[in-house]
Amino acid sequence: MLATLLLLASAAAPATELGDGASVRLLVPDVWLYVSERASDHVAANSLVVSLPGGPLLVDPPWGDAQTDKVLDWAHKALGRPVAGAVSTHSHEDRTGGVAALRKRGIPVGALQLTVERTRADGKPAPDALFSSGAFSDPRGFEAFFPGAGHAPDTIVVWFPQQRVLFGGCLVKAEESADLGYVGEADLGRWPAAIAAVRARYPEAAIVVPGHGAPGTRRALERTLELLAAKVKAAP
């Protein structure tokens, strides 16, 4: 019931258009959904801005420096404080594309050690390592968790216990998703176990935010498992 009420409230919150396919809207108090589009094909990706003690946290600097600058400028103006830190949930462009923009402003950005290694191997600006396995708990009020390989070898999720918001990133598909999307670096064999680990660790999640598509409830985890089962069944 609480999850349904929170989703109804967030759905009613109007989005603020920032231009170039970017928008931001309030999900729950202190948590904003930032949606940005890749310029080349208009594929939309989700990021979060969460107001925490010590300053706002950006989860996933998006497609590139321009889109990242948009959300940083918005946060500073709307929240009255500059973004104080960021987390990237894996090494793909929609999660690390704006690292250079963060570096230019002196904003620290952290990630799984494997994400750092993979981003550097691609010759791109890389985050700093927060942890190499298991979970990382930040005293400001969030936890980053590596449940194992899934959409990519290095996908993590970020949990905000006070707000009961779980950012699933690209490990989690939206409830309305018809397929798994890009699986070029996916580990289809381990992905179900990663989802099971997330489901077991965060039973109190009221809102689950996927990497792409509309935020939902824990039903998004179930939908991801359904899509994985269908993918395996359809394999030759």
Q: What are 10-67's pLDDT values in tens digits?
A: 555 789 999 999 999 999 999 999 999 998 999 999 999 999 999 999 999 989 999 9
Reported as half-sphere exposure (CB side, CA atoms, 13 A), residue 29 has a value of 1
CATH number for 70: 3.60.15.10
Does the predicted model carry a pTM greater than 0.85?
Answer: yes
Sign of CA dihedral 217, 30, 136, 60: positive
179 pLDDT band, cuts 50/70/90, is very high
Residue 231: helix, strand or coil by DSSP? helix
Choose among 139, 20, 166: nearest CA to 84. 139
Count of domains forming the chain: 1
Report the b/e string of 58-96 with b at 16+ CB within 10 A: bbbbbbbbebbbbbbebbeeeeeeebbbbbbbbbbbbbb
Q: Over pLDDT 90: what percentage of the chain? A: 89
Amino acid at 71: V
Q: Give pLDDT, residue 232.
A: 85
CA atoms of 174 and 220, how far apart (whole Å)? 5
Mean pLDDT of 116-131: 97
Q: pLDDT by residue (tens digit) across 188-225?
A: 999 999 999 999 999 999 999 999 999 999 999 999 99
Q: pLDDT by residue (tens digit) across 51-75?
A: 999 999 999 998 999 999 999 999 9
Residue 121: give the domain boundaries: 2-234
